[in-house]
């Protein structure tokens, strides 16, 4: 009896997950642990006015996310033209360079440049690129595979603060930033170069490990199905889905980037260490949400799973109405679970709604829209906090409202998806009767 080998696609998932852990962890998810030290030093040396310190942090974070979104369509085109592997290695070089630059500068302008470079790197070694890579390897188990993949963004938020915070205490934020950047050069780049294959056909396999026969001429059958970018943009569901993504990423981004600063205000009163722990807790819980809801989306209609996730997110935000140190984690747990699930479903539903033909390009355009929502949240939250003397209460009240609006859009999406399915079933039934 022939021994069954483990499908190579699962190694691809592992490497892609590591890529997200490092890239998102060092540029978005785990980066807020540096914020307090950066803010204090730049105010102390007079590089930033104390009345604009929160906006300085919020604008920098928004620049990273906004740049990632703006570059996504271009990155999607390059990935389609060349390969995920080549673009991912280039993204690693950009990210490593950005961290070195940020660690050495005392200029707010150069901080913004480095944050933009971090965003640019995410176009090539972030969620878009790694989702495209994994989607090439899986069809039937796509929800599970993407769910596992996107835990990388959460694990980055869990692990980076836990080992970076002690480094900041011992060596200062600048040396700590240089030290953590070594993981890009010494771990991630070698893994990408030596182990990644762009598609199963490169080594004679089919998606999901089906019929694993070493036929080098075998071509993956999933790349030619679905809508082109322009065809997708003509459908109402494209624009409703894009608006949904923007509204969902507003609270996700604000919470993952600026909630740690809210926790350390006098009103809530958590220490820097406790804030870092809360940051890690948010991403740890989101890991569970990504895996659980990604798995569920293979079992029940993904749009229904999206509705469940967004409902949990909204219910969690209600604890922000009177936030204290005791209720902070009561907000983080349901919000993190729901946020993890919506993050997975947004990536999956692009492929489910529009197919694989122009998947990198379509996902790239939708990423632009969702990053506009995220960047708007980051900038607006910083300005509202500055206008309130550093108090984030009003800014996070807006998070509640935006999450509620996202839930309403997801309900609309469910009705639209049901109508599409019913129409498709009727067409199939009619075709069967004609036969």
- Burial label for 234, CB within 10 Å (0-12, 13-18, 19+), is exposed
Helices (H) and strands (E) counted in the chain, each on its own, are 16, 0
* pLDDT value of residue 4: 58
Structure tokens at 198: 């762009």
* Confidence check: pLDDT of 55 > 90: no
Q: 178 with 379: CB under 8 angstroms?
A: no
Q: Which of 111-115, 158-162, 348-352 has the highest average model confidence (pLDDT)?
A: 111-115
Q: How many residues does the chain have?
A: 435
Considering only residues 420 and 402, tell me which one the structure prediction assigns the higher pLDDT.
402
- The dihedrals phi and psi of 223, each to the nearest 5 degrees, come to -80, -15
Q: Which 3 state secondary structure label does DSSP give 3? A: coil
Tens digits of per-residue pLDDT, 300-318? 899 999 999 999 999 999 9
Tens digits of per-residue pLDDT, 218-246? 334 444 578 998 999 999 999 999 999 99
* pLDDT value of residue 235: 93
* pLDDT value of residue 222: 44
Question: Cβ–Cβ contacts within 10 Å for residue 333, how many?
Answer: 18
For residue 326, CA distances in Å to 109, 278, 323, 330, 335 come to 38, 12, 8, 8, 16
Tens digits of per-residue pLDDT, 246-273? 999 999 989 988 888 888 888 888 877 7
Structure tokens at 164: 């970076």
Q: Which 3 state secondary structure label does DSSP give 355? A: strand
Tens digits of per-residue pLDDT, 185-199? 999 999 999 999 998
Nearest to 69 by CA among 112, 127, 108, 19: 127
Considering only residues 403 and 61, tell me which one the structure prediction assigns the higher pLDDT.
403
Whole-number CA gyration radius for the chain: 22
Average pLDDT, the chain: 86
* pLDDT value of residue 147: 79
* pLDDT value of residue 420: 57
Q: Band of the pLDDT at 430, cuts 50, 70, 90?
A: very low
What one-character-per-residue DSSP string does 173-199 give? HHHHHHHHHHHIIIIIHHHHHHH--SS
Considering only residues 91 and 162, tell me which one the structure prediction assigns the higher pLDDT.
91
pLDDT-above-90 percentage for the chain: 44
Considering only residues 371 and 349, tell me which one the structure prediction assigns the higher pLDDT.
349
Q: Band of the pLDDT at 419, cuts 50, 70, 90?
A: low
pLDDT-above-70 percentage for the chain: 92
* Confidence check: pLDDT of 60 > 50: yes
Q: Band of the pLDDT at 394, cuts 50, 70, 90?
A: very high
Averaged over 154-170, what is the pLDDT?
Answer: 86
Tens digits of per-residue pLDDT, 74-95? 888 888 788 899 999 999 999 9
Nearest to 207 by CA among 132, 141, 138, 134: 138
- Which ranges in 219-299 belong to alpha helices (H)? 229-233, 236-263, 272-296
């Amino acid at each position: 009896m022939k021994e069954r080998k483990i499908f190579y696609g699962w190694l691809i998932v592992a490497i892609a997950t590591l890529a997200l852990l490092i890239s998102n962890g060092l540029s978005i998810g785990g980066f807020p642990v540096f914020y307090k030290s950066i803010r204090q030093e730049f105010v102390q040396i007079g590089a930033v006015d104390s009345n604009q310190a929160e906006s300085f942090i919020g604008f920098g974070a928004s620049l990273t996310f906004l740049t990632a979104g703006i570059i996504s369509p271009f990155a999607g085109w390059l990935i389609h033209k060349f390969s995920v592997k080549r673009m991912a290695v280039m993204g690693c070089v950009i990210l490593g360079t950005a961290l070195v630059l940020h660690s050495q500068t005392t200029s707010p302008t150069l901080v913004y440049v480095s944050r933009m470079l971090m965003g640019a790197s995410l176009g090539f070694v972030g969620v878009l690129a790694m989702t495209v890579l994994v989607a090439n390897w899986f069809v039937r188990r796509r929800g599970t595979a993407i769910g596992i993949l996107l835990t990388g963004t959460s694990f980055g938020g869990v692990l980076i603060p836990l080992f970076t915070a002690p480094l900041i205490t011992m060596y200062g934020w600048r040396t700590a930033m240089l030290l953590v950047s070594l993981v890009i050069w010494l771990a991630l780049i070698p893994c990408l170069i030596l182990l990644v294959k762009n598609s199963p056909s490169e080594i004679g396999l089919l998606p999901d490990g089906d019929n694993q026969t070493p036929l080098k001429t075998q071509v993956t059958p999933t790349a030619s199905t679905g809508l082109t970018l322009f065809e997708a943009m003509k459908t109402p569901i494209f624009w409703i889905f894009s608006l949904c993504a923007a509204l969902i990423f507003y609270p996700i981004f604000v919470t993952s980037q600026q909630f740690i600063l809210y926790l350390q205000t006098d009103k809530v009163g958590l220490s820097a260490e406790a804030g870092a722990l809360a940051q890690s807790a948010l991403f740890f819980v989101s890991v569970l949400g990504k895996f659980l809801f990604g798995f569920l989306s293979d079992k029940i209609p993904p749009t229904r799973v999206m509705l469940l996730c967004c409902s949990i997110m909204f219910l969690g935000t209600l604890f922000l109405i009177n936030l204290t140190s005791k209720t902070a984690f009561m907000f983080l747990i349901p919000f993190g679970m729901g946020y993890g699930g919506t993050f997975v479903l947004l990536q999956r539903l692009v492929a489910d709604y529009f197919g694989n033909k122009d998947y990198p390009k379509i996902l790239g355009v939708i990423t632009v829209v969702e990053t506009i929502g995220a960047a708007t949240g980051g900038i607006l939250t910083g300005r509202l906090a500055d206008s309130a003397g550093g108090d984030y209460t009003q800014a996070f009240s807006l998070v509640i409202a935006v999450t509620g609006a996202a839930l309403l859009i997801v309900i609309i999406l469910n009705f639209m998806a049901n109508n599409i399915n019913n129409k498709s079933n009727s067409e199939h039934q009619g075709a069967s009767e004609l036969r």
